């Protein structure tokens, strides 16, 4: 399948090609994320960039990204919400960086503890810059 190395799945419709990109990663408290534990197709990595803030880097540059879903799995009950932040091109222009925040009820960013049952799942729809024929 074309593009399979970028972790995408084609979405059938008339017009520009759209693909779904999805994955799951495991925050590690205030420590660096182990990207070898990521789940989903290849083509992305994630880094903890501040307390409760994670930067998802896509290796491919799409014309447009549409956020579809963001889920937070916690082993213990807590008032936490995962939110999308800014979507910006990478410095070298070959990919995208997407910010994910985890906040508490007051809106303050909070780290997610390291636990095998704590994870963040995401789903994006990417639009290619050529018309599908």
Give the predicted TM-score (pTM) of the model. 0.84
pLDDT tens-digit map of 5-54: 455 555 555 567 788 999 999 999 999 999 999 999 899 999 999 999 99
- Whether the per-residue pLDDT at 93 is higher than 90: the answer is no
**Domain layout of the chain by residue ranges:** 4-131
Q: Indicate the burial class of 39 (C-beta count within 10 angstroms; 0-12, 13-18, 19 or more).
A: exposed
Distance CA 106, CA 62 (A): 34
pLDDT tens-digit map of 56-77: 999 998 888 999 999 999 999 9
Mean pLDDT of 75-89: 95
């Amino acid at each position: 399948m074309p593009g399979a190395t970028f972790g995408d799945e084609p979405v059938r419709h008339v017009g520009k090609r759209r693909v779904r990109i999805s994955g799951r990663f495991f925050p590690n408290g205030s420590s660096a994320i182990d990207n070898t534990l990521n789940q989903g197709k290849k083509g992305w990595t994630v880094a903890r960039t501040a307390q409760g803030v994670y930067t998802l880097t896509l290796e491919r540059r799409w014309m447009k990204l549409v956020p579809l879903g963001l889920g937070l799995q916690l082993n213990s009950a807590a008032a936490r919400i995962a939110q999308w932040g800014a979507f910006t091109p990478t410095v070298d222009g070959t990919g995208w960086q997407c910010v994910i925040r985890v906040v508490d009820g007051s809106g303050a960013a909070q780290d997610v503890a390291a636990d095998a049952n704590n994870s963040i799942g995401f789903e994006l729809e990417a639009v290619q810059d050529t018309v599908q024929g």
